[in-house]
Amino acid sequence: MAEFSDGRIRHLAMIQEVIARMAGESARMKQFALTAIGVLASTCVATRSAPLAGVAGVLTVIFWLLDAQYLRQERWFRALYDQVRLAEGPTDFLMTPNAEIRRRHTLLDGLFGWSVAPLYGALLTIAVLLARFVGSAPGTS
């Protein structure tokens, strides 16, 4: 195992803190999305209001984009961590992922990541089904 200087260890710790923060925010987006869409879905069914299902769908897409952005940034900083870990010589304490790292980890990758797409895809499907069936249910106006 390679010996790291105190400066490199501090730099890696700083990057790890950013990674932890991005992962926490991603989890928080999922919690907010489940809560908000759950409230809108139950209200939609109770009031037989198809437009609320549309709002749930739009909100799902917004949360999906925000969560994918946090995931993308987390991947950027994981790559930066590896870059700093493998570098030789004194560290420069750079906290900005370079262009190659940013190009390698895109928002599209985040949108369809395994931790994001199934959840938001399911929530979007629920919103579409609610709009379809609540809007066509007897007694709706």
23-34 residue pLDDT tens: 999 999 999 999
Residue 88 is predicted with a pLDDT of 86
Spans of the chain, pLDDT less than 70: 1-2, 135-141
Residue 3 is predicted with a pLDDT of 75
CA dihedral 100, 105, 107, 110 (to 10 degrees): -170
Residue 78 is predicted with a pLDDT of 96
Q: DSSP code of 96? A: S
CB 33 within 8 A of CB 63: yes
Q: Which long-range contacts (CB under 8 A, 24 or more apart) does 59-64 make?
A: 59/33, 60/33, 60/120, 60/123, 60/124, 60/127, 61/120, 61/124, 63/29, 63/30, 63/32, 63/33, 63/36, 63/120, 64/33, 64/111, 64/116, 64/120, 64/124
CA dihedral 123, 129, 135, 140 (to 10 degrees): -80
90-115 residue pLDDT tens: 888 889 899 999 999 999 988 998 99
How far is CA 126 from each of CA 26, 121, 134, rounded to the nearest angstrom?
Answer: 21, 9, 11
Residue 41 is predicted with a pLDDT of 93
Residue 2 is predicted with a pLDDT of 64
